[in-house]
Structure 1
Amino acid sequence: MKRARHVTTSVQKKSAPLPLPQLRQQVQPTIADQVFKVLHDRILSLELPPETKISEAEVSAKMGVSRQPVREAFRRLANLGFLQIRPQSGTTVSLISEEAVLRARFIRLALEMHTCRTACHVISDEGLHALSNLIDQQKEAITENNRSRFHALDDAFHREICVQSGVGYVWDVISENKGHMDRVRMLTLDRSSQNYALNEHIAILDALSARSPDAAADAIDKHLSRILVQIDEIKAENHNWFTDIAP
């Protein structure tokens, strides 16, 4: 019996929690992450338009990094459908796939309609004020005819709705899927198109302020569906940049 008690005491000591502090993990972007972001941004902004030739050696030399992280970034961009890597003929920026654009729009619409419905129930007055402030900044960008600033503020508006709905992570999913839409948007983002988007954002904010889930869902549907009309017009003007083949 004494031996049994001794074993039990020993087991209890071994299972006691260890007095270890909780560490805060610091995540730093790798060189490959940084190369990927630079090239991804350039492709989506059309600074690197479709069919632009691009090489590992050139990117490596210009960015002052080794070939390995560039190769990794190229592979990630190819997997997303933004680069075509042909060992024999080189690497080029992919054509804009209409199928990929429509797929991205479907994913984004499904997520954002539900997010807007949720926002109507939970968004605070401070959240509505934050959205209103972003709309004021969008007006300034239109006055300046600053397309890149308006595009960034447009994204910030949609992201803020996700955050104010308590589902900020949804914007991460949207961002991973909307790149093919972004290239089309950059082709249409003149002053007239910016004003259309601004008025649609105001309609979304009005619906959120009225706490009307149906009106908010309808407003976001109208906003994200305009690309269906635009894509035919853009294809006619930039037909060499488009393909019907899915990436």
Structure 2
Amino acid sequence: MVISRRQFSVLGAGVAATTLSGAPTARAATRSRKPAVRNVVLVHGAYADGSSWAKVIPLLQAAGMNVIAVQNPLTSLADDVAATNFALARQDGPTVLVAHSYGGTVISQTGLAPNVAGLVYVAARAPEAGEDFTALSAKFPNPPVNSGIITSRGFKFLSRPAFIQDFANGVPRKEALELYAAQGPLSTAPSTTSVAAWHQKPSWYAVSKNDRTINPELERFMAQRMNATTIEVDAGHLSLVTHPEVIGRLILQAAAKS
């Protein structure tokens, strides 16, 4: 893992106000006057469901966080925004909003909710307001997964080879096949946001260096455009599955600093 920008150390045991062991540092406790962020809402992306966060959730819970994984219907951006807003409305206090992949579009739209303290993007889309993400992606080399996208009846999903080799690269085959069985088709309807919450909320970004679904250079571009605190993970698109400890620590860093 390579850490970049703002001299940010996601693995430093004494930096975060909260660690994976759940113990706040004394320095952070004495300095902070804001309410502690104890809530995390996780938003999955296309071709997945909330279970994609299964390895991250227990790490956050062990650190004392209240966690909800949204089950996006993926039937439209409006429907996914509604599902995420409902999850946010159930939180009592400041919340870190986290997204993987297409879920980044959802949190860019919903992240202006008053109780959202910070945004974390994990190999995620981070569109500007009104931006055509497909057009933005076309400015970068075509990711291999695109050749395996199948469109049918207003939805798109991945062929089995594309899912295993490109979407879930780096995931053990048995586990990748289980994730494939839970694949969530994504609506082909436009998913253009009207706002970009990352302009107003502190943001973090985990770039997947070996991503075959979103070009890593595009991820770096979006992270830099956001002025996000950025880490690079030696992982494919599903870093939340292959490197849950790293992603969990990033989320806790965001909670400590939001």
TM-score range (shorter-chain normalised) is: under 0.3
TM-score, structure 1 as length reference: 0.26
Between Structure 1 and Structure 2, which shows a larger proportion of helix residues?
1
Higher fraction of strand: 2
Larger Rg: 1 or 2? Answer: 1
